[in-house]
Chain A
Amino acid sequence: MKHLIACALVLLCCASLSGCWDYRGLDEIDIVTGIAVDKDTSGVYRLTIEIVDTHGSAKEGDLGAKYVEAEGETLFNAIRNSKKRLINKLYGGNMQTLVISRQIAETEGVSVILEEMLRDGEPRETMSVVISQEETAKAILLAEGIDSKIISYEIHDMVEEDNRVTAATVNMPLYKAYNAIKGTGNSLTLPAVHCVQNDDETVVEGNGIALFEGDKLIGFLPSKNSIYYLFFKNEVKGGVISFPVSRSDDSVSLEIKDCKTNVDVSVQDGQAFVALSIDIKLNVMEIKSQLSISQASQRKALEQQTAEFLQTSIAGFFKEVQNQNKIDIFGFGRQLYQKTPDLWVAIEDDWNELFQNADIQIKVDAKIQSAGVLKDY
Chain B
Amino acid sequence: MFSFFDKRGKRKTQEIFQEMFPHEKIEEVSESYQETLTRLKTVFRDNDPIEFRELSVGGREPMRICLIFCDGLADASLIDNFLIRPLMKIDEFELEKLTADTLLTRVLQINGAKKTKDLDEIIQNITCGDTLLLAEGVAESILFSTKNFPARAVSEPEGEKILSGPREGFTEVMMTNLAMVQRKLRSEKLKMRYYTLGKQTNTQLCIAYLEGIVDPEIVQQLYKRLDCIDIDGILDANYVNELIRDNAWSPFRSTGYTERPDVVAAKLLEGRIAVFVDGTPVVLTLPYLFIENFQSNEDYYLSFYYTTFTRGLRILGFFITILVPAIYIAIVAYHQEMLPAPLLISIANERQGVPLPAALEALIMLVVFEILRETAIRMQTNVGQALSIVGALVVGQAAVEAKLIAAPMIIIVAMSGITSLLVPKMNAPILLLRFGILLLASCLGFLGVTVGVAFLLAHVLGLKSFGVWQLSSGRKLHFQGLKDTVIRAPWRNMILRPQQLAKNVVRQKDHPEGQQ
Contacts and interface: CB of A to CB of B under 8 A. Distances in A.
A347 B500 CA distance: 72
B447 A14 contact: yes
Contacts of A63: 345-346, 349
B448 A14 contact: yes
A57 B339 CA distance: 20
B332 interface: yes
B138 interface: no
Contact of A11 (B348, B357, B451): B451
Contacts, number: 93
B75 interface: no
B353 A27 contact: yes
B334 interface: yes
Interface in A31-79: 31, 33, 52, 54-58, 63
B178 interface: no
A31 B344 CA distance: 9
A21 B348 contact: no
B219 to A, nearest CB: 32
A94 B444 contact: no
B515 interface: no
A2 B448 CA distance: 22
A15 interface: yes
Interface in B316-365: 332-337, 339, 341, 344-354, 357-359
A25 B451 contact: no
Contacts of A153: 341
B397 to A, nearest CB: 14
B336 A17 contact: no
Contact of A96 (B4, B341, B358): B341
B346 A58 contact: yes
A2 to B, nearest CB: 8
B1 interface: yes
Interface in B204-237: none
B261 interface: no
A22 B144 CA distance: 76
A26 B347 contact: yes
Given A18-B444, A58-B350, A24 B333 contact: yes
B334 A21 contact: yes
B334 A26 contact: no
A86 to B, nearest CB: 15
B337 A15 contact: no
A48 to B, nearest CB: 19
A373 interface: no
Given A14-B444, A18-B447, A31-B344, A25 B349 contact: no
A55 B332 CA distance: 17
A26 B343 CA distance: 12
A126 to B, nearest CB: 11
B443 interface: yes
A87 to B, nearest CB: 13
Interface in A121-138: 122, 124
B447 A54 contact: no
A130 to B, nearest CB: 17
A375 interface: no
Contacts of A26: 332-333, 336, 344, 347-348, 351, 358
A59 B357 CA distance: 23
B445 interface: yes
B353 A93 contact: no
A93 B354 CA distance: 22
Nearest to A7: B1
Contacts of B451: 11, 14
B349 A54 contact: yes
A309 interface: no
A201 to B, nearest CB: 22
A296 interface: no
A285 interface: no
B1 A3 contact: yes
A18 B336 contact: no
Contacts of B351: 25-27
Contact of B336 (A24, A57, A96): A24
Nearest to B339: A94
A93 B350 CA distance: 19
Contact of A24 (B334, B347, B354): B334
A175 to B, nearest CB: 15
A23 interface: yes
Contacts of A15: 443-444
Contacts of B5: 1
A93 to B, nearest CB: 3
A24 B359 CA distance: 11
A23 B447 contact: no
Contacts of A346: none
Given A27-B352, A31-B348, A93 B337 contact: yes
B349 A58 contact: yes
Contacts of A139: none
Contacts of B332: 25-26
A317 interface: no
Interface string A325-364: 0000000000000000000000000000000000000000
Contacts of A287: none
B345 A54 contact: yes
B354 A27 contact: yes
A26 to B, nearest CB: 5
Contacts of B334: 21-24
Contacts of B344: 26, 31, 94
Contacts of A27: 348, 351-354
Given A14-B447, A21-B335, A24-B334, A33 B341 contact: yes
Contacts of A24: 333-334, 336
Among B1, B348, B353, residue most surrounded by chain A Cβ atoms (within 10 Å): B348
Contacts of A14: 444, 447-448, 451
A1 B5 CA distance: 7
Contacts of B445: 18, 21, 23
A203 interface: no
A122 B335 CA distance: 11
B457 to A, nearest CB: 15
Contacts of B346: 58, 63
Interface string A304-340: 0000000000000000000000000000000000000
Contacts of A94: 336-337, 339, 341, 344-345
A4 interface: yes
A252 interface: no
Q: Which 3 A-B pairs have the closest CB atoms?
A: A93-B337, A94-B341, A54-B349
16 contacts: A3-B4, A7-B455, A14-B448, A15-B443, A21-B445, A23-B334, A23-B442, A25-B351, A25-B358, A27-B348, A31-B336, A31-B341, A54-B349, A54-B352, A55-B352, A63-B349
Given A18-B447, A91-B336, 10 more contacts: A1-B4, A17-B444, A17-B447, A21-B334, A23-B357, A27-B348, A31-B345, A31-B348, A54-B352, A94-B336
